[in-house]
Amino acid sequence: DQQVKQNSPSLSVQEGRISILNCDYTNSMFDYFLWYKKYPAEGPTFLISISSIKDKNEDGRFTVFLNKSAKHLSLHIVPSQPGDSAVYFCAASGGSNYKLTFGKGTLLTVNP
Amino acid sequence: DGGITQSPKYLFRKEGQNVTLSCEQNLNHDAMYWYRQDPGQGLRLIYYSQIVNDFQKGDIAEGYSVSREKKESFPLTVTSAQKNPTAFYLCASSKTGSPHTGELFFGEGSRLTVL
């Protein structure tokens, strides 16, 4: 039972355009959502997060939007750069422990 | 510099052998985790520990064992009972307490290959 779903395995965009990565979740107990970026053969690095009390969080070129009623969040990257090419994981946490549940990831390719 | 160190980076094992992956952190984090990454599967939680001398099974604990004798260390043993041990293993740590963010700090990973 996949509680965090990233339905697009890959996404390709042109440099300078917007990249939109999507994530859906099923567990109503989740109250904190994070995006991680991962290069091959390296550990993921934290990118941006959002609490369930907010619907938007922005950090430079990265913005995360949360739609609680739809149980959907998205990561917007604008403008996209070739160095953004990586696998992006959506993750969620909630309840009394600090365990993160990850989606399967979306491979973003930004073409020059 | 504070961080998480995993070793070895690459490890080869013969079938039937147990192997132990090391994970050390100097971030003074209470919680530590082991994840496994397979192609197309994302990150799946093996074991996690929120405090010294305590740990819980994650989603795919079968064939694995851990210990948490020190705050800084959380070694993972891949036993011969693990049916498909070839994978990329990631160790992580996080703060506990308030405010709760759940943000994990990851090591560089260890790639285990069974020959």
* pLDDT, tens digit, 9 for 90 and up, residues A2-45: 899 999 999 999 999 999 999 999 999 898 999 999 998 889 99
What are the pLDDT tens digits along chain B (115 aa)?
679 999 999 999 888 899 999 999 999 999 999 999 998 788 999 999 989 999 999 989 999 999 999 999 999 999 988 888 999 999 999 887 544 566 889 999 999 998 8
Q: Report the b/e string of B32-56 with b at 16+ CB within 10 A.
A: bbbbbbeeeebbbbbbbbbeeeebe
Q: Is the CB of B41 less than 8 angstroms away from the CB of A104?
A: yes
- CA distances for B23 relative to A99, B26, B95, angstroms: 18, 10, 16
Inter-residue contact A71 to A26 (CB < 8 Å): yes
Inter-residue contact A110 to A22 (CB < 8 Å): no
How many CB pairs below 8 A link A and B?
65
Looking at residue A96, its pLDDT comes to: 64
Run of H or E residues at B104: none
How many Å lie between the alpha carbon of A36 and the closest alpha carbon of chain B? 9
The radius of gyration computed from the CA coordinates of chain B, to the nearest angstrom, equals 14
Residues in a beta bridge with B77: B20, B65
Looking at residue B15, its pLDDT comes to: 86
Contact B4/A at CB under 8 A = yes
Q: Is the CB of B44 less than 8 angstroms away from the CB of A102?
A: yes
Taking CB atoms and an 8 Å cutoff, what residues of chain B touch A36? 104
Q: Is the CB of B111 less than 8 angstroms away from the CB of A41?
A: yes
CA distance B102 to B32: 11
CA distance B113 to B68: 25
Contact A35/B at CB under 8 A = no
Pick among A51, A98, A104, A106 to test the B interface (most B CBs inside 10 A): A98
Contact A76/B at CB under 8 A = no
How many Å lie between the alpha carbon of A71 and the closest alpha carbon of chain B? 19
